A and B are shown apart, each in its own frame.
Chain A
Amino acid sequence: MHPFSYTTAAQPEQAVQLAATDPQIAFLAGGTNLIDEMKLNVRTPRQLIDINHLPLDKIESQSDGGIRIGALIRNTELAWNDSIRTGYPVLSQAILSGASPQLRNMASTGGNLLQHTRCYYFRDTSSPCNMREPGSGCSAIDGFNRIHAVLGTSDKCIATHPSDMCVALAALDAVIHIVGSSGERDVSINEFYVPYGDDPSRLNVLKPGELITYVQLPAMPWAKRSTYVKVRDRASYEFALASAAVVLELDGQTIKQARIAMGGVATKPWRATAAETKLAGLQIGQDSFKAAADEALQGAVPRKYNAFKIELAKRTMIKALTDAAAIS
């Protein structure tokens, strides 16, 4: 681990002003990805600003029915919050399917949004990696790519986004609130991650020194009918090979509207908007769900070791749709 100096921030403005001056400054919240990567020298900040004491640790119901989640709310607390469990069960289930209890106790909402891919080449500083070092090449495209993405990839990078929480947030159209030295702004999670294109190193729309302060869940009474299905080699404590977050609004047997997002198969939390459009007005049932799943995986690009993910992702989505439709 490279040496660094350590300070704590008492107010977001203070943290942001300091971090805007130097791209080698990193914010420390839960540390579950940052400290992990610092041990590998994948990240080498010169200074850590500990933001754990910032006043960003509330979950608040809004008057319009939405929920505001402070960026420092730990994953465990978010998953077990009663309003989340009852109102947005897909989010609770997604978080509880990820990592381990210890990691969920440490990990923050903001940090979960910003966690890096677990591509083993990204995490190995002796391997060429366009995300870590633009222009150096992608070791995964012709390497061991079983855990890599089939959607959203470019010929420069095929790294999978690892989060479960973010897949649920994508399905729920969550909005990320950002504070920077030049002001505050809101960005939909579905616009937050930057496509890899020719340079996969940028990752998201944050400018140097910007800080996520909260995540806003829109009012969505029909989100009660939602679920998360995660498929992986082990029963627990592992990233998804494929996952699906589904929210369904039904009128009897008819689908009024659907929200579908996928994990484990894409370069960012992947909203399957074409599948959503396909389902609107259809009757619930395997035929409809299969049509939606086929639509969702259009354009998927298989690699040598991950071609199985295309069919797996479809079946995972069909299972999630079936489960969501069956919620009483």
Chain B
Amino acid sequence: MQDKQSSTVAAPPSPAGVSRRAVLVAGAGIAVSPWIGGCGSSTQETSTQPRPPKWEADPNAVAVTLNVNGESHALQLDPRVTLLDALRDDLGLTGTKKGCDHGQCGACTVLIDGRRVNSCLTLAIAAQGPAITTIEGVAQGDQLHPIQAAFIQHDAFQCGYCTPGQICSAIGLLNEAQAHSDDDIREQMSGNICRCGAYPNIVSALRQVMNKT
């Protein structure tokens, strides 16, 4: 599979061995290329290699090193860049989602040293040092995290947009070990909202994992 999030979350197998994202990017490139001459390849896979500043000679860029999913990344970032935007735009880790960008929805939840936080209200420059775990990093190779497996088993997502945040938040909840009932689960997952209403199944998934540990 050529998915750039390769070794982590298992996506449904596709016969041609090409990810949906690559097809969409290639399709968009083909559709617009007559109008944008010579812009270079639109089908490039973004990698997790360090990137130059987004703008040429960004006068505000400073060196920022982030430790994400076990790998160290040296970036050049404007101090204003949030951890959320650095993960998505500069590291190509688009699993973490931007829902509200103001700490009101939880879609941007990641783990910093095992603690769940909103990456939209974290400056990338202030997140240097600790171990950051995103949804791309919760599986062990092809082995899904128990929370991921439980989410699939219990149909705990519909559109999937809140799901990376839900999963990271659930892992953080397990690390906190302060939930002892379904009501505790509901209250302690209340920082992640879901427009599709998958809540009951999210609770079931969490209950299953908690009962097994």
Contacts and interface: CB of A to CB of B under 8 A. Distances in A.
A32 B172 contact: no
B102 A6 contact: no
Contacts of A58: none
Contact of B191 (A80, A100, A235): A100
B109 interface: yes
A219 interface: no
Contacts of A102: 103, 106, 109, 116-118, 169, 172, 191
B101 A28 contact: no
A32 B79 contact: no
A48 B79 contact: yes
Interface in A70-113: 76, 80, 99-103, 105-106
Q: Shortest 6 CB-CB distances between A and B: which pairs? A: A100-B191, A236-B190, A6-B79, A35-B121, A1-B80, A237-B190
A4 interface: yes
Nearest to A1: B80
Contacts of A5: 79
Interface residues of A, number: 27
Interface string A2-23: 0111100000000000000000
A50 interface: yes
A101 B123 contact: no
Nearest to B189: A101
The B interface, classified by DSSP as helix, strand, loop or mixed, is mixed
B80 A106 contact: no
B26 interface: no
A105 B116 contact: yes
B191 A101 contact: yes
Interface string A225-238: 00000000001110
Given A3-B78, A4-B80, A32-B103, A106 B117 contact: yes
Contacts of B176: 76, 101
A36 B169 CA distance: 20
B79 A106 contact: no
B33 to A, nearest CB: 34
Given A76-B176, A100-B192, 8 more contacts: A3-B80, A28-B123, A35-B82, A50-B126, A101-B188, A102-B116, A105-B115, A235-B190
Contact of A28 (B126, B189, B193): B126
B86 interface: no
Interface residues on B, range: 20 to 34
B188 to A, nearest CB: 6
A52 interface: yes
Contacts of B109: 102
A31 interface: yes
A206 B178 CA distance: 36
A100 B79 contact: no
By CB atoms of chain A within 10 A, which of B62, B79, B186 has the most? B79
A103 B169 CA distance: 12
Nearest to A74: B115
Contacts of B172: 101-102, 105
Contacts of A6: 62, 79, 123, 125-126
A36 B121 contact: yes
16 contacts: A3-B78, A4-B80, A5-B79, A6-B62, A6-B125, A32-B118, A32-B121, A39-B101, A100-B118, A101-B172, A102-B109, A102-B169, A103-B103, A105-B116, A105-B117, A105-B172
B82 to A, nearest CB: 7
A106 B78 contact: no
A31 B178 contact: no
A236 B79 contact: no
Contacts of A235: 190
A101 B116 contact: yes
Nearest to A101: B191
Contacts of B121: 31-32, 35-36, 103, 106
Contacts of A52: 126
B122 interface: yes
Nearest to A80: B178
A101 B169 contact: yes
B60 interface: yes
B187 A236 contact: yes
A316 B169 CA distance: 31
Contacts of A106: 117-118, 121-122
Contacts of B60: 3
Contacts of A101: 116, 169, 172-173, 176, 188-191
